[in-house]
């Protein structure tokens, strides 16, 4: 079985500042900022943690139901993918 994981793109730099993150796309020069929740999700990039585990972490950390956590995490990941800030990899489990 394959699970999706988040992976860093080589052209993106990011720095965490006071529970927020700033991302810089080196190719376009565009900056992006993330709030505390986005920063938490971004912290799982390159750590071989599955998207499902990220959803569970958001569910456990914040007072939202499981379906809401899944919907918001998936939307956030889709947004990062569309902006070229991360990529998905597959992990065999």
| Rounded Cα gap, residues 77 and 92, in angstroms | 20
Q: Which residues of the chain have pLDDT under 50?
A: none
CA distance 88 to 2: 12
For 22-37, write each residue's pLDDT tens digit: 999 999 999 999 999 9
- The pLDDT assigned to 65 comes to 93
Average pLDDT, the chain: 92
Classify strands 2-8 and 86-92 as parallel, antiparallel or unpaired: antiparallel
Class for domain 2-87, per CATH? alpha beta
> What CA–CA distance (Å, rounded) separates 52 from 69?
10
């Amino acid at each position: 079985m394959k699970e999706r994981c988040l992976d860093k793109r080589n052209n993106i730099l990011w720095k965490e500042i006071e529970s927020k993150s700033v991302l810089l796309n080196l190719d376009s020069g565009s900056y992006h900022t993330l709030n505390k929740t986005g920063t938490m999700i971004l912290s799982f990039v390159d750590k071989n943690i599955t998207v499902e585990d990220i959803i569970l972490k958001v569910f456990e950390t914040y007072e939202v139901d499981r379906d809401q956590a899944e919907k918001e995490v998936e939307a956030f990941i889709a947004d990062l993918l569309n902006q070229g800030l991360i990529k998905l990899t597959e992990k065999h489990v």
